[in-house]
Structure 1
């Protein structure tokens, strides 16, 4: 990836279009939003695979970022992320979800990359 400076931040060309990144909401994604999005979507993708391997395919997975806690005294660093998964599927067994959550966190490269620096809380609900 290559990033070029713009008047309001940086941008990069991707196969899906231009990604604008800026410290101001009105000019692009903020860097912390991309970090949180990476953790959330990586977790969702891994969860989907785990559910498929356990023969409990998800019809839908929704991820809500319930909390992002940042520390204004240390460069506004991200210290906590709370992700809430809403999983819909007729074959999903509630009793197996703790193991699904464990495997999801263990196999998500983004969670594993930040786990010692960011407290990641993951909760879920299953809708049949």
Structure 2
């Protein structure tokens, strides 16, 4: 990836999907911490989806809410991310989904990349359809 400085502030890169604007000023692009949290959430969500599909669950939707705790005294770094998954579908087994969540944390490359630096907590709730 190659990032080019923008005259008005921030940086830009071209990726296969499109142009990505990154800036500390959210009027100029996505903020770096937003991208970090998005990477953790979406990586986890994608891994969870694959695992649940392999377990033959009928999943109709997954929503992820990310709550972030930052430390203003130390470069405003991200210290804690709580990812809460709302999983919707039919015939969902809570114990099997707990196991899937454990596998998700072990297999998400983004979560594994920040271990020891950012505390990532993952919880879930189930919404079943009859």
TM bracket, shorter-chain basis: over 0.9
Aligned residues of 1:71 and 1:79 also touching (Cα < 8 A): yes
What residue number does 2:124 align with? 124
- The TM-score, its normalising length taken from structure 2, stands at 0.93
Equivalent runs, 1:2-81 vs 2, <5 Å: 2-6=2-6, 7-65=8-66, 67-81=67-81
RMSD: 1.0
Could you tell me which runs of 5 or more consecutive residues in structure 2 were left unpaired when the two chains were aligned. none
Distance 1:78 1:89 in 2: 32
Q: 1:14-68 deviations in whole A, cap 9, x for unaligned? A: 1222110000111110001000000000000000011011111321111111x21
TM superposition shift of 1:95: 2.2
Work out whether 1:90 is the aligned partner of 2:90.
yes
Could you tell me which runs of 5 or more consecutive residues in structure 1 were left unpaired when the two chains were aligned. none
